[in-house]
Amino acid sequence: MTSSRHPYRIGVQLQPQHADYAQIRDAVRRAEDLGVDVIFNWDHFFPLTGDPDGKHFECWTMLGAWAEQTERVQIGALVTCNSYRNPDLLADMARTVDHISGGRLILGIGAGWFEKDYDRFGYEFGTAGGRIADLAEALPRIKARWAESNPTPTRDIPVLVGGGGERKTLRVVAEHADVWHSFGDAETLARKSAILDEHGEAVGRDTAALVERSVGVSRAPSESADALVAAGATLFTVGTSGPDYDLSLVREWVAWRDAQG
């Protein structure tokens, strides 16, 4: 999953909030020109920070546009909410964006958590355990739909699962994911990474070798990179919000990646 040029990958999450679409499109252009490896958005219906009823745009429609706009970067949601779309429909949407992009989609997916989205759009929020169970049920359906679609995806679409629940979510990661996106510091990453590998052993999958560790970063690489690398991370993603989409921290991480050889 890592780049052939570098041992580490840098992502940016362009949060689709508080911006006109022209500003988002410009941020995508700037991020690709900067040399990032992955550009993510997120799958919500309302802003998560700032004015809760501010400007916001939908995830997958946007990914289709990004697939046409970009040439090199991988694209995906960090992460799409399993609850918002039938798994077979989501599989077909992902397959379509995979083809539009020429094989650059990452299917980032999670169980969902933002209750306002559910309430305002008429989805049943249920319980955390129920949403994780739904995710575990959806991933085999998604992969089965890909296998029987015509045309099939351009390649095995990498699946990124976000979440840190040690008993249930990490079991889903062990069974189905190519990338695990974690939340928290290096110590948390190292501890949960070990738990993930225990789940991998239980399900007969070498997660240490097969599952890339991804982490969100909000500090400069000089302050945090060494500890995160020691904990096993190879994909580092900076989040930035509209309307300005400041990429200065992203630029630092790209420079750090390039210095690693």
CB neighbour burial string for 171-195, b if at least 16 within 10 angstroms, e if fewer:
bbbbbbbbbbbbeeebeebbebbeb
Q: How far is CA 74 from CA 39, 70, 108, 157, in A?
A: 6, 9, 12, 11
The residue-averaged pLDDT of 79-104 equals: 98
Q: Residue 4's pLDDT is what?
A: 45
Model confidence at 41: pLDDT above 80: yes
Model confidence at 93: pLDDT above 90: yes
177: in domain: yes
127: in domain: yes
CA atoms within 13 A on the CB side of 184: 16
237: in domain: yes
pTM value is 0.96
Name, in order, each residue with C-beta under 8 angstroms of 157's C-beta and a sequence gap of 6 or more. 94, 95, 98, 105, 106, 107, 146
3: in domain: no
Is residue 162 within 8 A of residue 111, CB to CB? The reply is no
1: in domain: no
Q: Which of 4, 2, 49, 5 is nearest to 13 (CA)?
A: 49
| Per-residue pLDDT reduced to its tens digit, 127-185 | 999 999 999 999 999 999 999 999 999 999 999 999 999 999 999 999 999 999 998 89
Q: Residue 3's pLDDT is what?
A: 44
Q: Residue 5's pLDDT is what?
A: 66
2: in domain: no
* Strand residues in 142-248 grouped as ranges (E): 159-162, 179-182, 212-217, 233-241
At residue 229 the predicted structure's pLDDT band, cuts being 50, 70 and 90, is: very high
30: in domain: yes
**Does an H or E element contain 192, and which?**
helix 186-203
**Number of domain units in the chain:** 1
CB neighbour burial string for 233-250, b if at least 16 within 10 angstroms, e if fewer:
bbbbbbbbbbeebebebb
The residue-averaged pLDDT of 3-13 equals: 83
117: in domain: yes
Domain encompassing residue 31: 9-259
Rounded CA-CA distance 111/81 in Å is 6
∠ CA 119-123-125, rounded to 5°: 75
- CA 250 vs. chain centroid, Å, equals 16
The residue-averaged pLDDT of 90-113 equals: 98
CATH number of the structural domain spanning residue 101:
3.20.20.30
Mean pLDDT of all residues belonging to the chain: 96
Model confidence at 2: pLDDT above 50: no
The residue-averaged pLDDT of 9-30 equals: 98
Residue type, 204: G
